[in-house]
Amino acid sequence: MSYSNQPSPNDVGVAVVGAGYWGPNLIRNFLASDTTWLWSVCDLNMDRARQVLGRHTSVEVTNDLQAILDDPRIQAVAIATPAGTHFGIAKACLEAGKHVLVEKPLALSSIEAERLVNVAAERNLTLMCDHTYCYTPAVRRIRHEATQGTLGRLQYIDSVRINLGIVQPDADVFWDLLPHDLSILDSILPAGIQPTAVSAIGVDPIGAGRSCVGYVSMTLPGEGIAHVHVSWLSPVKIRTTIIGGSHRYIVWDDVNPAQRLSIFERGVDVSTFQTPDDQRQMMVQYRSGDMLAPALVESEALADVVREFADCIRTGRRPLTDGTSGVRILKILEAVDASVAARGQLVPLEQQSIGALR
């Protein structure tokens, strides 16, 4: 590969808005990518943006979004500002003809997110959400197993995402952490399968004014269930997801780089039969087979997010985590809010037409 300190005509010209905690990761990956050229970073705090870029850079810094919108070199904008600003900034960018990558959550409501999807569709622009986990090697492998049918029928998903987390000023633990699990679920469920109802309990044992510990259960079609435990109040960091299928089980332990994934050829089969005296009997058989720990090539998921964004802009292909997946996730988050307010009551989810949305 030859390196040039000039943009090539094929490079997607990019700006990043927001250089706080997460923005620098996007900036680093856009700078490292051989398909994008970072022209500008916009942050209300220009000193912060300058500090992130360092002294030896030609990337411009501004605190004026309009300068980004007016710049014809910039074809695409990545937004890493607080969630409450996503809708306004994304809409302005789309209306100015820019492709948009938005941090999770896409917006603060599914209505806002649907408006962004419509504006992008009307203008033939790429709208993508940075649901980073969907691009990790582990989730790619889980998606492969799920979509190739090697897992069998999905029986359950059980996820724990807990640590001593930052109590967010503008979000509860559900809106902070749950989008990760919901986006993973959305990306591995076969097309046409979506959660049908949600029950959630959230508690605030430290008086933070918002849920800090939460438990979410989602029913899936065909007797399946997904359960997620999120918490900012755990002394240990646990990032474990178990995916149960009728043929195989997968255990994903994201804090164990030596063995993130374990695929178990194990399971339980139940069959029923009639005895001669007309009694219905049940036979339970336990299958015990090998455990496979696949070799995953370690790569930075955000580099793949950037690659996917640039590729979709150039080809017009829909991103894996497009705006409509952001809408589906927001609809579940809204149902979680409604269920928490009703102390865990089961809230049905509107079934979206997958064909129309995927």
Ligand X SMILES: NC(=O)c1ccc[n+]([C@@H]2O[C@H](COP(=O)([O-])OP(=O)(O)OC[C@H]3O[C@@H](n4cnc5c(N)ncnc54)[C@H](O)[C@@H]3O)[C@@H](O)[C@H]2O)c1
Q: Residue numbers of the site for ligand X (CB under 6 A)?
A: 17-23, 42-45, 48, 65, 80-83, 85, 103-104, 130, 132
Kind and range of the H or E element at 249? strand 249-253
CB of 95 to ligand X, least distance (A): 16
Q: Which CB, 82 or 192, lies closer to ligand X? A: 82
By beta-carbon proximity to ligand X, the closer residue of 11 and 130 is 130
Q: Which is nearer to ligand X, 77 or 125 (CB)?
A: 77
Q: Residue 338 is encoded by which pair of tokens?
A: 């409604």
Among residues 180, 118, 117, which one has the least CA distance to residue 323? 117
How far apart are CB 16 and ligand X at their closest, in Å? 10
Residue closer to ligand X (CB basis): 130 or 186: 130
Find the shortest distance in angstroms from Cβ 235 to ligand X.
21
Closest CB 347 distance from ligand X, rounded Å: 23
**81, 18 Cβ separation under 8 angstroms:** yes
Please choose, from the candidates 102, 61, 98, 53, the residue with its C-alpha nearest in 3D space to the C-alpha of residue 80: 102
Nearer to ligand X, 122 or 170 (CB): 170
CB closer to ligand X, 48 vs 123: 48
326, with CB counted inside 10 A (0-12, 13-18, 19+), is buried
**Residue whose C-beta lies closest to ligand X:** 20
Instruction: CB nearer to ligand X: give 88 or 294.
Output: 88
Cα distance between residue 294 and residue 76, in whole Å: 36
Q: Which is nearer to ligand X, 86 or 99 (CB)?
A: 86
Residue type, 203: V
- The least distance separating ligand X from the CB of residue 84, rounded to whole angstroms, comes to 9
Decide whether 130 or 145 has the Cβ nearer to ligand X: 130
How many CB atoms within 10 Å of residue 276? 5
Q: Which residues have CB under 8 Å from 44's CB, separation 6+?
A: 63
- How far apart (Å, rounded) are the C-alpha atoms in residues 306 and 54? 21
For residue 139, CA distances in Å to 134, 282, 297, 339 come to: 6, 36, 12, 28
Task: Name residues whose C-beta falls within 8 Å of residue 125's C-beta, 6 or more positions apart in sequence.
Answer: 94, 97, 98, 99, 100, 119
Residue 179 CA to residue 304 CA, distance in Å, equals 19
Measure the CA–CA gap between 134 and 305, rounded to whole angstroms: 9
Per DSSP bridges, beta strands 60-62 and 197-203 are unpaired
Which residues lie closer than 8 Å to 194 by C-beta, 6 or more apart?
186, 220, 221, 328, 349, 351, 352, 354
Least CB distance to ligand X at residue 132 (A): 4
Min CB(308)–ligand X separation in Å: 13
Give me the least distance between CB of 251 and ligand X, in Å please. 22
Minimum distance from CB of 48 to ligand X (Å)? Answer: 5
